[in-house]
Structure 1
């Protein structure tokens, strides 16, 4: 018995116990962190409407003002660090994924909310698809009802149109640009390369297919990038009011810092930026008919796969609403990434115009 006691004391004095305690504490903290981010991304009620917390927030506001911070300042700070804090009564769209989630992805390409990326970012074998900025969801291969037959090597017909525009186009992030062509990722306070792509999409729809379209040149992402979607919602609602004939609303974007190999395809002997459809869900804000947007995106993706094999990168469902609640046919399209050239993105826009024309020609959407 004495020998066993001495053995235990020798082991305890060797320094292992403090290390084990520290390891357990770190694991526990990481688990709390992961749970916190998950809850922050899923809870849709207003954390700050609880009476006791509301009182505390009011008292804290006086402190913030004393040190030079005001209501919008502390809301923004809390929204960056704690996702659940971004759900205020006047909240419209939250693009923030949280400071720690964003920092982890920027440094390691691993998403704290998606365990699969822990492996794919570190072990090449698991990385069959290049790591993107956010976890990607691609719907199962399933027949999409109502897809029109697409014949190869046949000129797309021009559809007779009425006087009103059928497509409304805008850019929530106007500054987004293409590095190979413009040398920078963003042109702050200006319409960057992404607006040129949107303009090319409009011109192709009108000049090649006779589809009247509207394009907004309003800057939405400057001076406050965090209010981009709130600003573009105003544009979208005004566009819908001014042009009630619009059937499709398109928010044109480009992805960021994704390897060129995964965002470029050879179509007809030319290099084109690949296209990703983003569909918002009701995970953060009320959006009861988001499945209609998903069905519409899947219909377009089905046509695109037939007309231009390889152009479609996928259809991704994300937690944000992205203003798609205003119409069952509102889509967000990512035209390549920062690594694509403007010419490649504009070529993709021409092909997207052909897909939209085919869809409008097939049936009433």
Structure 2
């Protein structure tokens, strides 16, 4: 009876979720689990067959199917007007979070490989997943992501591109009109630190969120995308693309850490998964490099935990793409916030450069 119920739940999910990829993954997982569990038990008689099969099915339901049901939507109620509203075109500007970003708990700042291989642990202690999106356990398989080889060999031709979708972002003591006091100046510092380590870097210092002296954030990702494509055409050897931002937080939140005896701004890695809870996979925002993007940020986070606990905040995952699709080793980094000083933000680049060098080279 329970077997029939579980099958009913799985196929119901396939009919209600707009993008059926999740349901297919769940059914495939169920089938694999059934075959793996049933036959060894049948041959070995080590335990009752029904006990093994039902345990595996319950596990699959909890880990894969239940999250899908939570975020399912009835798209017969979606109107044409909803699908062509402005938010579907100028959405990638939105890095705002639906709540404050959680800090990594003090007791989990030590890296433990066995823990990091468990999706449940990553969900609770390492990732913060925005309520407007969803991520399956197979996507945050720590063992797979941490085991992915992202290494490169250093070259004289440019391998790293640093740019700023929101280049006008400033800090609390930024001097008006001074580019070096904005997030672009922080990019200057990261460029210098990487070059000192023998990494060939291109730093794009253009501002994409201002036009004719006015803020133009709604199209900033489009403008930045055009620039990225030009750089990749000119320097096809670029393998790493870093978009440096400055976060905005509640004034009572202070993103400051002391590392190597210096006060630094905490940083946060930000991933987009091209999927929202209400619309499923965004087919018009495909990202063939999503898994590598997730591996890149998780490996950097792990490296930070090993050497500089407290330097990074939780990795934030949201539903859009944020121009991370151009290369697998693409990274969006939030460096401090509006209430950090320029000095604190620039100081943190020495550690970020070290983490990048350790993961990539």
TM-score of the alignment, normalized to the shorter chain, above 0.5: yes
User: Structure 1 length normalisation: TM-score?
Assistant: 0.58
Q: Which residue of 2 aligns with 1:166?
A: 159
SS at match of 1:324: coil
Q: How does 1:1-365 map to 2 (within 5 A)?
A: 48=80, 85-86=85-86, 91=89, 93-96=91-94, 142-143=142-143, 145-146=146-147, 161-179=154-172, 181-182=173-174, 193-207=182-196, 209-223=197-211, 224-259=216-251, 261-283=253-275, 284=282, 285-289=284-288, 290-361=290-361
Residue 27 of structure 1 corresponds to none
The separation in 1 between residues aligned to 2:79 and 2:87, in whole angstroms, is 7
**Structure 1 runs not aligned, ≥5 long:** 1-37, 54-81, 117-128, 149-158
Query: d(CA) in 2 for partners of 1:296 and 1:356?
Result: 9
Once the 2 structures are TM-superposed, how far is the Cα of residue 291 of structure 1 from its aligned partner?
Answer: 2.3
Shift of 1:321: 0.7
Number of residue pairs matched? Answer: 246
Distance of 1:341 and 1:276 partners within structure 2: 16
| CA deviation after TM superposition for structure 1 residue 326, in Å | 1.1
- SS of match in other structure, 1:206: helix
Does structure 2 retain, via aligned residues, the 8 Å contact 1:86–1:94?
A: no
Distance in 2 (CA, whole Å) between partners of 1:259 and 1:135 is 23
Kindly indicate whether the alpha-carbon contact (under 8 Å) linking 1:263 and 1:337 is maintained by their aligned counterparts in 2: yes
| Larger-gyration structure (1/2) | 1
Give the 3-state SS of the residue equivalent to 1:182 in structure 2. coil
CA distance in 2, matches of 1:225, 1:197: 20
- Aligned with 1:164: secondary structure? coil
1:308 CA displacement: 1.4
Q: Answer whether contact 1:264 1:274 (CA < 8 A) is retained.
A: yes
> What is the rounded CA distance, in whole Å, between the counterparts of 2:92 and 2:153 in structure 1?
40
Whether the 8 Å contact between 1:205 and 1:353 is mirrored in structure 2 is: yes
Deviation at 1:200, TM superposition (A): 0.4
Distance 1:268 1:94, change over 3 A: closer
- Cα deviations by residue, 1:198-237 (Å, 9 ceiling, x for unpaired): 0100011002x01010001222001222111000001111
Deviations 1:147-172 (A, max 9, x none): 89xxxxxxxxxx98322111100000
Question: Is the contact made by 2:240 and 2:329 (CA closer than 8 Å) also made in structure 1?
Answer: yes
- Give the TM-score, by structure 2 length: 0.58
Cα pair 2:268 2:312 within 8 Å, conserved: yes
For 1:83 and 1:177, the matched residues in 2 are separated by 35
Q: CA deviation at 1:302?
A: 0.9
State the alpha-carbon separation in 1 of the partners of residues 302 and 195 from structure 2: 23
- The 2-side partners of 1:357 and 1:311 are apart by 16
**Aligned-residue CA RMSD (Å):** 3.9
